[in-house]
Structure 1
Amino acid sequence: MENIHHLIQENEKGSRLDVVIASIQEDWSRSQVQQWIKEGNVTVNGNPSKANYKSVPGDEIVIEIPEPEALDVEAEEMDLDIYYEDEDVLVVNKPKGMVVHPAPGHLNGTLVNGLMAHCKDLSGINGVLRPGIVHRIDKDTSGLLMVAKNDLAHEKLVQQLVDKSVTRKYQAVVHGLIPHEYGTIDAPIGRDQKDRQSMAVVNNGKNAVTHFRVLDRFKDFSHVECELETGRTHQIRVHMKYIGFPLAGDPKYGPRKTLELGGQALHAGILGFVHPRTNEYMEYQAPLPAYFEELLTDLRNNR
């Protein structure tokens, strides 16, 4: 059983308890939170409360997260696009539209379900709902992920992420014409105080650094390569919006009028890391998905 503590802030004054809690972590659904409240897993200042309780600044919320049962996540046969696999690690190319790991209320059809059918040995460090998952990419972002097949591999791969030694290069299409060829965005990212479901550049956020270079320019858009130094939630999407060039097709961070792409034009095309057992550097490259290539062709034709 894991306990999460949350102190109600001034900007959350008057908000419903279930809304506040659902905004703490992006993979918590409101219906799941309401179930926790109903079952008595949530207290306000030490007392059970109701979902429609209006929050008061200074309220101490404690959420007891029930341990997920092993049976919660089922193996599902999927046609996975695997680039590399051995006894320790696996590199997979995730398609656009697929969620990486299950969350309460969303237990099927994720990459983890497919991985569990593909191989029985995945590290257990992240628990039942996220076996083997070392890092994530968003549902509508395509591209390469490394997966740990045992705890030793998991710890070593996570350490490389902490040390910022993993190569992670993405391609994106953004609104606007970026005037310079190269740039670095060094701006901290945390929860958006106005919208707890979104991330934003905020003063008390976590350190976040993105390097970019322009690959091509079109009439109203730029094609860029972004390299992550850190890996914050929605980092590239938040950083490119912050400098005035939001991602095309992004329903959360893009402009109101954007391209209909079924999500942001973002692809994790290059992934490189040191193998946790052999200490050899390995790098993989996944080509742009068809929709992304078609988008670039359309933009070139409409210069």
Structure 2
Amino acid sequence: MNVNSHRVSEEETYQRIDKVLTKLLPEVSRSQIQSWIKSGHVLVNQAPVKNNYKCEPDAVISWEIPEPEEMEIKAEDIPIEIVYEDKDVLVVNKPRGMVVHPSIGHSSETLVNALLHHCNDLSGINGVIRPGIVHRIDRDTSGLLMVAKNDQAHQALAEQLQAKTVKRSYVALVHGAIPHEYGTIEAPIARDPKDRQSMTVVTGGRDAITHFEVIERINQLFTYVKCVLETGRTHQIRVHMKYIGFPLVGDPKYGQRKSLSMNGQALHAQELGFEHPTTKEWLQFTVEPPEEFNEALKKIREMH
């Protein structure tokens, strides 16, 4: 295990150690850091401390990142809608409410568990927990996802995502009447320093670009909108639409307190287009939003 160290700066003096480490390790949650401190993986001047320890001037914090515990991922007979499949790739219409891959707290009933039952050949680039997964969509977002069935296909699809040549368009219901027919939101996204479970627009975050087009304005209260991703940051559409003042309907994290109750955000990955990794043929798929999304749209249209 690699041991890392950091000398406490003047600015960090007398701050809690878990807070200091959260700033140093933006990709790690505060609760994860607290568990490392508790289990002795974090030392100050070579001695263990508690989570509420306040950093003394010039103290040296050292930490080692423990090896992740191997999760056993089981194949599960869960029905999934396969939109396209050949020996290299698979395109699936993920239902809302389904997590893409196993993680702490979600070790079963994920898309990966279902895929492992459906086929044995998935790429191993992302390891045991995420076989075949090239990109993700949130648990409560429904729609199209591409899956790689071998490492060569995975590499080719990942390169297309990096080169921004994959076409990914979503439909969403947002609060408010967007005044422009078209627009581009270019605002960097990173983890929210005040809430580690959320993302936010922040200076110095990762580049994030979303294009949008109004499909329909409804009763001057809502807009049915199409969003096209140029980049694929975590929660990108949800964060960007909130940032310009039009949060998604039903979004429990970034939405309004009063919204339609619909078990998560009204967001659906409707179109997916990419170059086939072997044949180089352009493949494009479209799936209509699920019933719950259409029900919300109908309810909104009936409001006066």
Residue 269 (str. 1) matches residue 259 (str. 2): no
> Which residue number corresponds to residue 182 of structure 2?
182
Any idea what SS the aligned residue of 2:102 has? Answer: coil
C-alpha deviation, 1:54, in angstroms: 3.8
Question: 1:67: Cα distance to partner?
Answer: 4.2
Match of 1:204 in 2: 204
Counterpart in the other structure of 1:101: 101
User: Counterparts of 1:260 and 1:246 in 2: how far apart (Å)?
Assistant: 14
Distance 1:65 1:24, change over 3 A: farther
Distance change (3 Å), C-alpha of 1:250 and 1:148: same
Change in CA separation of 1:295 and 1:51 when aligned onto 2, cut-off 3 Å? farther
Structure 2 residues without counterparts, runs of 5 or longer: none
| Residues 29 and 53 of structure 1: CA distance in aligned 2, closer, same or farther (over 3 Å) | closer
User: 1:255 Cα deviation (Å)?
Assistant: 1.5
Q: Is contact 1:4-1:62 (8 Å) kept?
A: yes
Aligned counterparts of 1:25 and 1:236: Cα–Cα separation in 2:
20
Deviation for aligned residue 1:81? 0.6
Per-residue CA shift, 1:172-230, capped at 9, x if unaligned?
00000001100000111011122121111100100000000000111211000000000
Give the secondary structure class of the aligned counterpart of 2:295. Answer: helix
* Structure 1 residues 218 and 278: alpha-carbon distance in aligned structure 2, compared to 1, 3 A threshold: same
Task: State how far apart, in whole Å, the 1-side matches of 2:281 and 2:182 are.
Answer: 30
2:241 alignment counterpart: 240
TM value normalised by structure 1? 0.88
Q: Return closer, same or farther for 1:124/1:53 CA change in 2, 3 Å cut-off.
A: farther
Letter in 2 for 1:165: T
Contact 2:16–2:51 under 8 Å retained in 1: no
Aligned to 2:118: 118
Conservation of the 8 A alpha-carbon contact between 2:174 and 2:249: yes
- Note closer, same or farther for the CA distance 1:8–1:164 as it changes in structure 2 (3 Å cut): farther
Deviation, structure 1 residue 121: 1.1
Match of 2:42 in 1: 43
Aligned-partner SS, 1:72: coil
TM-superposed CA distance for 1:46, in Å, is 7.1
2:282 maps to which residue? Answer: 281
- Letter of the aligned partner of 1:14 in structure 2? R
- Which residue identity lines up with residue 226 of structure 1 in the other structure? C
Q: 1:158 to 1:76 in 2, by over 3 A?
A: same
Distance 1:150 1:64, change over 3 A: same
* Secondary structure of the structure 1 residue equivalent to 2:272: strand
Q: How far apart, CA to CA, are the structure 1 residues paired with 2:8 and 2:174? A: 36
Larger radius of gyration: 2
1:136 and 2:136 correspond? yes
What letter is aligned with 1:125?
I
Measure the CA separation in 2 of the matches of 1:176 and 1:269: 22
Give the structure 1 partner of residue 16 of structure 2: 14
Query: How many residue pairs get matched?
Result: 298
Distance change in 2, residues 1:61/1:260 (3 Å): farther
What is the rounded CA distance, in whole Å, between the counterparts of 1:4 and 1:165 in structure 2? Answer: 38
1:105 is displaced (CA, Å) by 3.4
Shift of 1:51: 6.0
- Paired with 1:109 and 1:50, the residues of 2 have a C-alpha distance of 38
What is the CA RMSD across the aligned residues, in angstroms? 3.0
Deviation at 1:79, TM superposition (A): 0.3
User: Relative to 1, partners in 2 of residues 1:289 and 1:201: Cα closer, same or farther, differing over 3 Å?
Assistant: same
How far the C-alpha of 1:117 sits from its partner, in A, is: 1.1
Choose 45-54 or 278-287, whichever is displaced more: 45-54
Percent of aligned pairs with the same amino acid? 54
